[in-house]
Chains A and B, each alone.
Chain A
Amino acid sequence: MAQHFRLPSGGRIDRSKPVSFTFNGSKIEGYQGDTLASALLANGVHFVGRSFKYHRPRGIMSHGSDEPSALLSVSRGPGRTDPNNRASVVELREGLVTKSQNHWPSLNFDVGAVNDLFSPVFVAGFYYKTFMWPRSFWDKVYEPFIRAAAGLGVAPDVPDADRYANRHAHCDVLVVGMGPTGLAAALAASETGKRVIVADEQAEPGGSLLHASEETIDGKPAAEWVKETLAVLDARENVILLPRTTVFGYYNHNHVAMTERVTDHVVDPKGAPRERLWQVRAGHVVIAAGSLERPLVFADNDRPGVLLAESVRVFVNRYGVLPGRKIVFATSGASAYQAAVDAKRAGAHVTISDLRLEADCGPELAKARAAGVEVLTAHTVIGTVGAKRVKGLIVAPVTGAGAIGPRRTLDCDCVGISGGWTPTVHLFSQSRGKLAYDEALDAFLPGTSAQAETTVGASHGDYDLARCLTAGYAAGAKAAGSAATARFEATPTLKGFQPVRVMPTDANPAKVRAFIDFQNDVTAKDIKLAVREGFQSIEHVKRYTTTGMATDQGKMSNMNALGIVAGQLDRPLPSVGTTTFRPPYTPTTFGALVGPARDALFDPIRTTPIHDWAVEHGAKFEPVSLWRRAWYFPKAGEDMHAAVARECKAVRDGVGVFDASTLGKIEVVGPDAAEFMNRMYVNPWLKLEPGKCRYGLMLKEDGYIMDDGVVARVAQDRFHVTTTTGGAARVLNHMEDYLQTEWPDLNVFLTSITEEWAVIAVQGPKARETIAPLVSDIDLSPEAFPHMAMREGRICGAPTRLFRVSFTGELGFEINVPADYGRAVWEAIYESGRKFGITPYGTETMHVLRAEKGYIIVGQETDGTVTPDDVGLAGMIAKAKADFVGKRSLARQDLVASGRKQLVGLFADDPSLVLEEGAQVVADPNQPIPMKMLGHVTSSYDSPNVGRSIALAVVADGRALMGTSLFVTTPGGFTRVSVVDPVFFDAKGERINA
């Protein structure tokens, strides 16, 4: 094919740059500056897809982002394929591979088209009426069927190969749209020197002026004015011009989201992003988004070859493409006459069929006739002839009384339809502005603004070019705080239309397929049926019929649907209301929303200073909040069980080393530090001496355990507090909350030092001997440095806060060193401990070792409903303290009642059986269902040191059940367990003081 429908001259395409692409495997040529739609039309291709529900042949209807039908799969290469691209907005680029959708086996012969024959069955609410019974059909028949039928196009199945960027920006004035109104607004706003951003969804700025054939502005051809205006704006440092940028979301505080298509139009992006998401905070937003043309509703108005009238004009003037040789314009308004005149001038045979009476027409009538166009006034459209391409338009005269005269078929290969215009109020509506119905314009117009916003020009129902320019300029100036105005002289615009919901017809309306929503295959009779079935609100009609619910959000269909509902209900249109517009204005890629947040940048992955060492030594890792923690260190051939068993033995028999750097740490400093600690924790702190540690237990106000950790008093006015890994931020916020809101009088300050210190736990009988050669300025002897003491000194020359503490029950040290020294100190300890068989261990072994000692883990033994007494820690509570967070709640009736779940140990009868964590505990497995649950298993491991499996559980009145038997659920049924003391190893606690 060789662009037989390309005009010999004209248009804004670059004829020196031919571009080729494929459509369903055929190679097609166009020019730089074409869209897929204009290139396809230049080659006479109208039929480009099958409709969603009925699989009817569909063509290109529009030149812009409202296109409902011409949805193509577009591939720019591997990983760069996506479905449902509107042919009218995809810029032509060498090598694009495009395909039509929703057909099998081919576009021309589609088995699914049989749906069209059964259309009387597929009425509104078909799903709700059909898939109700038999009930048993749902899982096996209906749901699979619906799932297979749902969706349009094929989702990509390989990762997106493109880069997507994100950019926050601030400006004084954001102008949406670069048509005449937007450009005039940008001129005025930027005149003031204020920061201005101007965005337009099209590749080329200019809007309607790009297809203006006769229009002049201040004596210049419109295109010339655009060029000069853009040059002025471009030269201004305070202006950012963003073509190819769709403003798709208008949120609170003038936060406006827009997608810039950066490189889709170039063959090699050279690493540049495909799209850039702009998040603009604008002082004032000027919406100059133009208006959308309405289609006419008549039988078979969806045939390929039927376009919007203005779109025909765009293809002729802007792209140099004649969509047909014999074109009929069917209209109820003036603007289509200009399209007809331009098509005629371009060489087409043109007829106009206008619903309006001759007397109701304006100057457009004489103009068209003078240009040699035949005009049939007072004519309705009955239907079309043709299937995969329109071959004729059936029209008939209609009298004032509504009687319809004899039909007449106008042969044609293209139809331009126009049912008037609808202002684009989507963004205004998103901004929460209130719409007001204007009867003269038959449109909802922006009423009261909810934010610093002005909607102007065609978006405000102003269709005259000179008025748009003048109003745009004034709005831009005002948005920038100026009162400047400017007068523009421009060619008067042919405007005005007679609203019509459904074209009068002599056919049986119940049989006629007149499409309202082309993308979702909703016809006028579907809407009428919905109203007959009792739906009165447009929001309900919308959901029941799915009109306006396709990806085009009813850009073409909304007003016609509203009008039909109002007509059926015999109510004024505003009382039916309008649906709410929601972002995005047009479909937005996931890539743009995700931006750089993928792969390594998906989320910060926090690692410790010792992480790389663990990687080098083969550790397996587990995620703990954002941290990656070494889980266990398998040797060759070891599975997790074997590795953990070896690590557990090594710590009790020799020495193990563990990276505890992720522990949350807070430095609490100030003269009132001890008083503050006293109020935050259940324990007493005032008398804790500097150099001593204490296990601290923190409650929420409700009396339940929130967090725990060892705290060292570094100095009279300084505490080094540790928290759980996952609780670090929560605890700091909790403390700050109280400090700032309850006790602002306390002189104490909180600083997060989690990341200041790397923490190396050295645990086991050989721990002291391991670190001794490295430590200076600290006497490590048991007498000088007992359990639960803290000393400051040096290790490997680096400053250290050395804690003698243990979460294993062994002699142990937790060595805090400034983080950058962490790895070097760790390596030195590892070397020093080699002669004792030092074993690095991970979080799993840490969990087993502490469970052997019955030490709780917050979040494992506790779940936000556990009190200190429940886990046997009531002794921690300082009885003498007047108050602490949670104290009053501990006296609540239900917290002191008997029957609360208490921490116990469980031994399964089978010592090799490791119970499941979370398994339920019951007294009698033979009781009737529902059984009485006594509690659940909180921790469960195989313990090599105890020589059998062990479990911790919370069980109602558990401490009173010591020595009795209970039953625990397993995947295979109940198993019997004995209730035992939760300390399984070294119950006297002698080893820790070694």
Chain B
Amino acid sequence: MLDDSLYARRVSPLDGAAKPASLPGGVTVRQLKPEARFSLRVKAGAPADAAGFALDQKINSIVVRGGRWSARLGPDEWLIGGPEADAQLIAEEVEATLRDRPHSLVSVSHRNVSLEISGANAAIALNAGCPLDLSDAAFPAGSATRTLLGKCEIVLIRAGAEPSYRVEVWRSFSTYAHGFLVEAAFGLQNAA
């Protein structure tokens, strides 16, 4: 039996990062708590749903059902997520559902870090490094896409109508992405 003191605890790459108390421009940037996430790949003919994860939504959109969400990033690619504690359960349930189809389910829970940027000017702050049109018409509630933030690749998710965006970024790019969003908030300011 492993001694209790030897059990590893999780350390996020942003645990030590400097976080300004408040940002200008009415924008908040924070790290979201750990979640289970998987990269799911299923070839054409995927079912409408796999263990509560929608697979039939339009490309570049996200469906949230209960605690589980699935963002369709391409014809055969989904980023799916759920509560951290359910990681094992999710894997088993999805594998069971898709048993008879060619697919791939790979955990990326630790590969990805989730940031959230919210506030009335959140989209404008993102536009400091994201060239996409993030207006309500072009990037409405329920949107999700792979894109760029400055010099790093991200998955950008807007689940609801409120101006709140989830930024999924690879772990070693998270300090850069976090710093970039903070700087972007400062860049929103104008002459007083």
Contact = CB atoms under 8 A, between A and B. Distances in A.
Interface of A: 163-170, 195, 262-263, 265-266, 268-273, 276, 279, 281, 595-597, 600-601, 603-609, 612, 626-627, 667, 669-672, 747-749, 751-757, 773-774, 776, 794-798, 817-825, 828
Contact of A796 (B7, B110, B189): B7
B176 A167 contact: no
Contact of A167 (B13, B127, B171, B179): B127
Contacts of A753: 106, 108, 111
Interface stretch (B50-58, B62-70, B129-137, B159-167): B129-137
Given A167-B124, A170-B138, A266-B192, A828 B8 contact: yes
Contacts of A612: 16
Residue in B179, B183, B192 whose Cβ sees the most chain A Cβ within 10 Å: B183
B21 interface: no
Nearest to A673: B104
17 contacts: A168-B128, A262-B189, A596-B129, A596-B180, A600-B175, A601-B150, A605-B176, A609-B171, A749-B76, A749-B104, A751-B41, A753-B106, A755-B170, A796-B7, A797-B8, A818-B110, A825-B8
Q: Which 8 A-B pairs have the closest CB atoms?
A: A165-B187, A749-B104, A747-B102, A272-B189, A824-B8, A606-B172, A669-B104, A604-B176
B187 A607 contact: no
A755 B172 contact: yes
A440 B172 CA distance: 63
B6 A774 contact: yes
Interface residues of B, number: 58
A747 B101 CA distance: 10
Given A751-B41, A774-B2, A824 B138 contact: no
A162 to B, nearest CB: 11
Contact of B34 (A166, A169, A170, A820): A820
Contacts of A195: 135
Contact of A669 (B12, B106, B171, B179): B106
Contacts of A164: 187
Given A596-B128, A604-B176, A820-B110, A751 B39 contact: yes
Interface string B78-120: 0000000000000000000000001111111111100000000
Contacts of A821: 8-11, 110
Contacts of A281: 131, 133
A168 B109 contact: no
B150 A596 contact: yes
Contacts of B152: 604
Residue in B76, B108, B110, B132 whose Cβ sees the most chain A Cβ within 10 Å: B110
Contacts of B16: 612
Nearest to A824: B8
A163 B128 CA distance: 13
B151 A597 contact: yes
A796 B128 contact: no
B131 A279 contact: yes
Given A167-B127, A266-B191, A824 B151 contact: no
A754 B180 CA distance: 23
B111 A819 contact: yes
A34 to B, nearest CB: 17
A238 to B, nearest CB: 10
B71 interface: no
Given A604-B173, A828-B8, A749 B13 contact: no
Contact of B111 (A166, A262, A755, A828): A755
Given A604-B173, A606-B172, A757-B110, A670 B124 contact: no
Contact of A671 (B76, B102, B135, B172): B102
A339 to B, nearest CB: 33
Interface string B1-34: 0100011111111001000000010000000001
B43 A747 contact: yes
B184 interface: yes
A796 B111 contact: no
B2 A776 contact: yes
A279 B104 CA distance: 39
A270 B186 CA distance: 10
Contact of A600 (B110, B170, B179): B179
Contacts of B177: 604
B8 A597 contact: no
B127 A168 contact: yes
A798 B2 CA distance: 11
A609 B11 contact: yes
B183 to A, nearest CB: 5
B110 A627 contact: no
Contacts of A606: 172-173
A798 B107 CA distance: 14
B121 to A, nearest CB: 11
Contacts of A823: 11
Given A168-B127, A670-B104, A776-B2, A607 B111 contact: no
A271 B6 contact: no
Nearest to B180: A601
B176 A749 contact: no
B103 A756 contact: no
B187 A166 contact: yes
B151 A604 contact: yes
A751 B13 contact: no
Nearest to A744: B43
A872 B27 CA distance: 59
Contacts of B192: 266, 268, 270, 272
Nearest to A819: B110
Contacts of A269: 191
A19 to B, nearest CB: 15
Contacts of B112: 755
A76 to B, nearest CB: 13
A835 to B, nearest CB: 15
Given A798-B8, A828-B6, A271 B189 contact: yes
Given A166-B187, A168-B127, A273-B186, A607 B41 contact: no
Contacts of B188: 165
A945 to B, nearest CB: 32
A819 B37 CA distance: 14
A272 B191 contact: yes
Nearest to A269: B191
A672 B132 CA distance: 36
Given A756-B107, A828-B6, 11 more contacts: A164-B187, A168-B131, A169-B127, A270-B189, A596-B180, A596-B183, A601-B176, A749-B76, A751-B41, A819-B110, A824-B8
A163 B188 CA distance: 11
Given A609-B11, A749-B103, A756 B176 contact: no
Contacts of B8: 795-798, 817, 821, 824-825, 828
A170 B175 contact: no
Contacts of B11: 609, 820-824
Contacts of B187: 163-167, 273, 276, 596
Contacts of A671: 102
B39 A603 contact: no
Given A272-B191, A272-B192, A609-B13, A819 B150 contact: no
B106 A608 contact: no
Given A597-B150, A747-B102, A756-B107, A163 B10 contact: no
Contacts of A669: 41, 104-106
Contacts of A169: 127
Residue in B76, B112, B151 whose Cβ sees the most chain A Cβ within 10 Å: B151
Contact of B110 (A595, A667, A752, A755): A755
Contacts of A271: 24, 186, 189
A825 B187 CA distance: 40
Given A607-B13, A751-B106, A797 B24 contact: no
Contacts of A752: 111
Given A167-B128, A612-B16, A797 B7 contact: yes
Contacts of A820: 10-12, 34, 110
B154 to A, nearest CB: 11
